[in-house]
Amino acid sequence: MDVSIQDKAESWLKGNYDQATKDEILRLKQENPTELTESFYRNLEFGTGGLRGIMGVGTNRMNKYTVGMATQGYANYLKKSFPGKEIRVAIAHDSRNNSRFFAETTANVFAANGIKVFLFQSLRPTPELSFTIRQLQCQGGVVCTASHNPKEYNGYKAYWDDGGQLVPPHDKNVIKEVEKIASVDEVKWGGGEANITMIGKDMDEAYISMVRDLSVYPEVIEKQHNLRIVYTPIHGTGIKLVPEVLQRFGFSNVHVVDEQATPDGNFPTVIYPNPEESEAMSIGLKKAKQIDADILLGTDPDADRVGIGIKDKKGEWVLMNGNQTAVLAFNYMIEARKAKGIAQPNDMVVKTIVTTDLIDEIARRNDIKCYNVLTGFKYIAELIKEKEDTEHYVIGGEESYGLMIGDRLRDKDAVSAVALLCEMAAYEKDKGHTLYDKLIELYVQYGFYKESLISITKKGMNGQKEIADMMTAYRSQPPSTINGSPVVELLDYQLRSGKNLQTGASWAILLPESNVLQFILEDGTKISARPSGTEPKIKFYFSVHTKLSNAADFDRAHAELNARIEGVIKDMKLK
């Protein structure tokens, strides 16, 4: 074992750490030195979104001490940023193992630093935390969650006073303050309990009222209240609010998946508690088939992502990907607001650079401004803040199953998304159609766009380096052709520059720096490479499109686009 790793472990054995932590270090030292190395070879990085990692002892793990040190650094930055002002923070947590403990630890450290803390009395969805920060005029907030990661993980998302996650310059500045905390002895662990206020039902009511106001066609729901809905919270926080919100919207035929209804950080029925995974939606899908449902919906543990299932033209169930769900939602909000006469001349929508360009096309043809931002809802929140005096935000979304409807909160919100997706299904059913019919109709109207995603994971100490080497190679030696089509443009968001590889012309990209590369091919294919900011993985996004003359031609066009994506993946040797 590396000497520096041994020294770190030794410092924990000699320092002010609890006996259970020391016993576990001694056990790993004797029984599992590899795990001990993984636990101490680095400090768990407080990234631009906060912390996320495997739970356990050590500097590279989520535990009381890494959470406490992060909170002390964040508290120090809040006090520097708002001198002479009462500082208020809101804290929430999901259903993961230790989430409540981490939330209470966070609350105690903030309170010991003289900060007024509003702590939810039990688990709540992440979007409600964002709403609460704005509702209570807090300067910051934290939610303890690792979103859709496996059960071994937990995390800590930090928020600013607008209800969005940290963005420049605050993200980097908080990181600097966290890195200054060199020892657990610098953390104020307790003594400020009087600064903690428990919150719960009153905030739920305010949040539910806000979501209820998003409904565009309540009269249609009244007619289609019997829409057959199957919902699974996948052992997460969605159970706290989603069934209640659906009832308040007027839906009377909601079936919760019993096997996944109880919050449980072990996620016993799934491998990954992620509605992006078909396996996580399989039990819900079985129930949907049993009762011949109209729509299936699933949310992740902290209820900020939503996945849906609907029936195709043959009556067979299909799970929509995040791009398809976003297209349906964006189009509905645009179309419905126009039809209801509530659209405004300065309406705007926002998506990320790796989300389907079909949304850009729909917005363009409806004379609505569509902005593209970097991946992450914090950038959507930042843009809303920048434009709120001159433009009216309607909806934002990203391909990873995230939607944010309305501007009363500033993070993706699966609770309101579930309600609006059910309203959309009711609206189409009232016309004798399905959401699948609507999607095909949009493809005929605006063009058939198909997207796909591959994630490549590189675990362990060398994982991050392998991913970095891949990106370096793509930057220094970009391919001249992919799948037989010339690469026309290379967009490098880290260098913030675009280049035409055929003419040599270049231009500036007016977005913050981010480690993302995009290849634009002559045939219209777009390929994006983006290392994850929270996990040792790299994601490749593929987007292809063609014209669809009529619905009957869908299967042929779909096969053609599938083949094009497979050709790209094969040529890039990603499988």
Contact 564, 483 (CB under 8 A): yes
| DSSP collapsed to 3 states, 433-498 | CCHHHHHHHHHHHHCEEEEEEEEEECCCCCHHHHHHHHHHHHHHCCCCEECCEEEEEEEECCCCEE
Q: 466 to each of 412, 528, 540, how far by Cα in Å? A: 31, 18, 15
Helices (H) then strands (E): counts for the chain: 18, 23
Phi, psi of 194, rounded to the nearest 5 degrees: -65, -15
Structure tokens at 52: 């996320």
Count of all residues that appear for the chain in the document: 575
Choice among 95, 147, 215, 543 that is catalytic? 147
Q: Distance between CA 383 and CA 397 in Å, rounded?
A: 13
Task: Quote the DSSP letter at residue 18.
Answer: -
Helix or strand holding residue 208 (H, E): helix 201-212
Q: 358 to each of 50, 324, 325, 328, 374, how far by Cα in Å? A: 32, 9, 12, 11, 17
Phi, psi of 346, rounded to the nearest 5 degrees: -105, 20
Helix extents (H) in 15-63:
19-31, 33-40
Contact 401, 294 (CB under 8 A): no
Catalytic: 416?
Answer: no
Phi, psi of 368, rounded to the nearest 5 degrees: -120, 135
Contact 109, 66 (CB under 8 A): no
Structure tokens at 514: 């981010």
Other CB atoms within 10 A of residue 190 CB? 11
Give me the active site residues, please: 147
